[in-house]
Amino acid sequence: MLRMPSIPRPGWQETITSQGRGFHHNVTPGPNDRPYWDESVYYSFTLAQVEELERVVDELHRMCLNVVDHVIERKRFADFGIPDWLHQPITASWKRRDAHVFGRFDLCYDGRGHAKLLEYNADTPTSLVEAAVIQWFWKRDTHPGADQWNSIHEHLINRWHTIGSGPLHLAHTAEEASGEDALNVAYMADTAAAAGLATHLLTMEQIGWDTGRQAFVDDQQRPIDTLYKLYPWEWLTSDDFGPAAVETQKRTPWVEPLWKMLLSNKALLALLWELHPGHPNLLPAYLDGPRDLSAYVAKPLLGREGAAIQIVTPAERHSAPGDYGAEGYVYQDFWPLPDVGGWRPVLGAWVIGDEPAGLGIRETQGLITDNTSSFVPHLIIG
């Protein structure tokens, strides 16, 4: 795995804007001024490395589904801090096998040793447009003879065929100010339309509840049956209309389904280690404290974008700001990201349905990947 220099395309800002990336502003202002999308570098993988990553993602996905089965059979919801009233609905969602679309595994990998799972974004993963579209067109324009691990677009279209034939509503919260969520939702609508589904975009705030019909309705008072929501279940279930949303799942499950609450919670990391101790693609992780770990990362069970993470080693301590943590923490073995020319990459490996589908890379100069980390493309060469 090599980090290679590359000459940016003339007018690349206008190019990626036309391809759906509506913002590419600098995320690290100052002496290390850098845009969010950075095509002045790329990562190069061999085919053998990518095939190994595909195998790892496939195995991790199946292990995660087994965790859901285990938690439900053993009634271990308390480990995830999930309120009692949600236990039965989550169980019912899993037993119905409510359809799921996608997720993103964040991996630590240096191209030589075993890839290590850092966390799983299973409910509301983002960085989708740049992974599926922007880096693919970059490859086509700059390295047409090379390959890329990237069949995300095709997999998404195929997956929508399994969701249903009726109108699909797609929503994000209007409170997300950067525009990233809106872009991701618009792209999901494009892939659903390519699968032949009628689509309608709106915000979560525009969704209403019709007491007469006992149904959610859109901004035109039409009933919402199938909904893709870029809005996490832990937020939704704590909203005033949360109980009605959960009750609705019996008739018209939303995407991602309710059972994904067990995979979007970082307690998953501890359960994976408990069920598969010593697995080469896992890191030791515990819910009751760091135990015998001499260096560890304390992660809020429901944290996002690296917020409120603490890294503790015998020599130093690093903390990221954030308001998460009231729900509890998981304590994971500290496995530093590889230093590649002064930058530390995190590999975001996508699974669509039940299939590994592609790769996106974000990198930082620090130890914690957050919303200031840049996205860089990749190629398969050799």
Closest CA to 125 of 257, 304, 275, 283: 304
Amino acid 51: pLDDT: 98
The dihedral sign for the CA sequence 194, 197, 202, 203: negative
Amino acid 30: pLDDT: 45
Q: Using one digit for the tens of pLDDT, what is the confidence trace for 102-121?
A: 999 999 999 999 999 999 99
Residues 61 and 168 in one domain: no
The DSSP element (H or E) to which 312 belongs, if any, is strand 310-312
Closest CA to 213 of 224, 202, 204, 205: 224
Residue 279, Ramachandran bin (φ over 0: left; ψ between -120 and 50: alpha; else beta): beta
Residues 74 and 140 in one domain: yes
**What's the per-residue H, E or C state across 251-303?**
CCCCECCHHHHHCCCCHHHHHHHHHCCCCCCCCCEECCCCCCCCCEEEEECCC
Alpha-carbon dihedral of residues 100, 103, 73, 116, nearest 10 degrees? Answer: 160
Please report which confidence band the pLDDT of residue 305 belongs to, taking 50, 70 and 90 as the band edges. Answer: confident
Last residue of a domain, one of 254, 287, 317: 254
Please report which confidence band the pLDDT of residue 214 belongs to, taking 50, 70 and 90 as the band edges. Answer: very high
Residues 66 and 133 in one domain: yes
Average pLDDT of the chain, as a whole number: 94
Give the whole-angstrom CA distance, residue 120 versus residue 263. Answer: 7
Q: What is the CATH number of the domain that holds 201?
A: 3.40.50
Give the whole-angstrom CA distance, residue 236 versus residue 229. Answer: 10
- How many helices (H) and strands (E) the chain has is answered by 10, 18
Q: Using one digit for the tens of pLDDT, what is the confidence trace for 190-211?
A: 999 999 999 999 999 999 999 9
Residues 280 and 231 in one domain: no
Residues 87 and 47 in one domain: yes
Give the whole-angstrom CA distance, residue 313 versus residue 293. Answer: 9
Residues 382 and 236 in one domain: no
Query: Domain for residue 288, yes or no?
Result: yes
* Residue 47 main-chain phi, psi, to 5 deg: -60, -40
The dihedral sign for the CA sequence 280, 286, 290, 292: negative
Number of Cα atoms under 13 Å in the Cβ half of residue 145: 2
Query: Domain for residue 259, yes or no?
Result: no
Last residue of a domain, one of 254, 285, 300: 254
The average pLDDT across 25-32 equals 50
CA distances from 300 to 46, 274, 327 (A): 35, 19, 7
Question: What's the predicted TM-score (pTM) here?
Answer: 0.95
Q: Using one digit for the tens of pLDDT, what is the confidence trace for 78-105?
A: 999 999 999 999 999 999 999 999 999 9
Residues 127 and 271 in one domain: yes
Residues 8 and 126 in one domain: yes
Please report which confidence band the pLDDT of residue 66 belongs to, taking 50, 70 and 90 as the band edges. Answer: very high
Residues 132 and 274 in one domain: yes
Residue 177: pLDDT over 60: yes
Q: Using one digit for the tens of pLDDT, what is the confidence trace for 335-356?
A: 999 999 999 999 999 999 999 9
How many domains, in total, are found in the chain?
A: 2
Residues 45 and 115 in one domain: yes
Residues 51 and 174 in one domain: no
Query: Domain for residue 102, yes or no?
Result: yes
Percent of the chain with pLDDT strictly greater than 90: 85
Residues 174 and 140 in one domain: no
Query: Domain for residue 155, yes or no?
Result: no
What range defines the domain where residue 198 resides? 164-254
Query: Domain for residue 21, yes or no?
Result: yes
Last residue of a domain, one of 224, 254, 284: 254
